[in-house]
Amino acid sequence: MKLKNVPSEFQKALPILEKIKTAGFEAYFVGGSVRDALLGRPIHDVDIATSSYPQEIKAIFDRTVDIGIEHGTILVLENAGEYEVTTFRTEDIYVDYRRPASVSFVRSLEEDLKRRDFTVNAFALDEDAQVIDLFDGLADLDHRLLRAVGKPQERFSEDALRIMRGLRFVASLDFTIEEQTFTAMKTHAPLLAKISVERSFIEFDKLLTSPFWKKGLRALIDSEAYAYLPNLQDQIAGLEQTLTAVADDFVFSSSEQAWAALLMNLKSTPVKSFLKKWKTSVQFQKTVTSLIDLYDHRSLEGPNRQTIYRYGKNLAILVEDLRQAQGLPVAYDLIEQLDESLAIHDKSEIVIRGGDLMAAFAIKPGPALGKVLAEVERAIVEGELSNDKAAILEFASQRLQ
């Protein structure tokens, strides 16, 4: 079939294909970008596959970067754009259930496409917008079916991360996994324990923040893949609860909100230690912890100046979103009003520092000074004290007497 509406991203990259073909080689757009174009979804990365070898690509284009030349990938800098161009290749045995021991460059498009994970990711698109479909991917696309290319058992034993990628595609594309493919996923799920945590996090995070995350999470549970992910081994009840805790059409606004919601449904476990196992950043851990703390506080009382000052309007709104998705009362307008009423949003905005008080009242650093500074901050937040130097000195003098 021919792609009727060619995305501008492909049109802009078309001269790359034409230049390679003029040099006597084959070249195609391949992979997920072709799938997304067929589905009418936004295009992110344009990948090009070619029969020309890396050194031949470097001879065709003036500006290139060897970003993965050992695997056949060259970054071509052309027409104010950057394009990854990869040589058709076959792969040797996978030594760690993730990466092949070696790759061999070939001149055959079919040999290159047959090593890909799912049929809907194994399309090629030529310069005339003709879709090349060697594995009935178009039929699977019509049926919104996720099917492994070739033998599913081989695809997942080669690269176990494909299991998580498949579950993520279910969540992002609203696809159903073909029966034999799903059986192979479930059989090979234990291999996920051998995959780097960072890689699994990326896929699970994308799953949770996708429009159809409930469908993806359902597939994660049913495949039993969760049992081989950090800290989820005995969390089946919490995962099931996550599916029913919020409205069916609710979509998480951020990764931090998604993980906070997940953790609130799991068995009691220290948030930071849980997220450390997933190799997340300290800032990510801090934000998720704050969201959970604020949610718990919000369950006890409504928003007030101190909570908006401490946690910030953005986190407060994320918490309200979770409450709304659970059918609980919300206070968006109050949060906006409280935020606007704050004279400061961070203590660095206070016009006086500890050194100013030490100089004005001849006091030394210590608990007394710290207590006064805390009282100044609280009073400004509550609107009891102006963020004015003279007013703050008068306020402090009364408390230092």
Q: Are 294 and 271 a contacting pair, CB within 8 Å? A: no
Q: Which residue has the tokens 């695809």?
A: 155
Dist. CA 117–CA 175, nearest whole Å: 15
- What lies within 8 Å, CB to CB, of 351 at 6+ separation is 387, 388, 389, 392
Annotated binding residues for CTP, as ranges? 32, 35, 116, 159, 162, 165, 168
Q: Which residues contact 37 (CB under 8 A, 6 or more apart)?
A: 3, 5, 6, 7, 10, 43, 125
- The CA distance from 114 to 248, in Å, is 37
Residue 352 makes CB contacts below 8 A (sequence gap 6+) with 376, 389, 392, 393
Rounded Cα–Cα distance for residues 262 and 240 (Å): 10
- Dist. CA 51–CA 107, nearest whole Å: 5
Residue 119 Cα distances to 71, 95, 166, 314, angstroms: 22, 24, 11, 41
Per the annotation, binding residues are 32, 35, 45, 47, 116, 159, 162, 165, 168
Sign of the torsion formed by the C-alpha atoms of 148, 161, 114 and 123: positive
Q: How many CB atoms neighbour CB 385 within 10 A?
A: 20
As annotated, the binding site for Mg(2+) includes: 45, 47
Residue ranges of the binding site for ATP: 32, 35, 116, 159, 162, 165, 168
